[in-house]
Amino acid sequence: MRLILFNKPYDVLCQFTDGGSPRATLADFIAVPGVYPAGRLDRDSEGLLLLTDDGRLQARIADPRFKLPKTYLVQVEGDPQVESLDRLRKGVTLNDGPTRPAEVERIADPQLWPRDPPVRFRKSVPDCWLKLTIREGRNRQVRRMTAAIGHPTLRLVRWRIGDWALDDLPPGEWREVPAP
């Protein structure tokens, strides 16, 4: 059984084939046959992606029934106050129903790699960073949650899935770790 941690760069598709698109895919970074992503990470999101060749492990990582915590570093537009963060902690209602409660805290600007292209900076609109942990994985969920409280996501980096974390893994790099 193989388990690979990959730091997916911005603008990389979370699949091995591009369907004719000129975009970068996992195949541009990982030349390991027989592994597949356990879950997804949007093209415009960065960070930890787990790949495995074991279907049961893949399901355990990706299936929301197992409630594996996923932690994101999220740069949001504006300056969310306690009331807004409390809405995330209680769960917000999206167009596909209410979310489970999230763990959220404001954090200092993390020491991350530069993003290419850089996040749009506006002098007149502040931004801040949040550490947000969810236990489900709907399509673009974190982005929709921050938008629901009036603070759109500017940059989204998945930092941790369960016990696995990016730590010092650079963007575009991967490492194999012991499977559980």
CATH superfamily for 69-161 is Alpha-L RNA-binding motif (3.30.70.1560)
Encode pLDDT of 100-126 as tens digits: 999 999 999 999 999 988 888 777 788
Cβ contacts of 143 within 8 Å, gap of 6 or more: 42, 152, 153, 156
Mean pLDDT value across residues 142-150: 97
The CATH architecture assigned to 1-66+163-180 reads: 2-Layer Sandwich (3.30)
Q: Which of 11, 18, 28, 42 is catalytic?
A: 42
DSSP 10: T
Q: Read off φ and ψ for residue 130, nearest 5 degrees.
A: -125, 150
Q: Is 163 assigned a catalytic role?
A: no
Mean pLDDT value across residues 22-30: 92
Does the pTM of the predicted model rise above 0.85?
yes
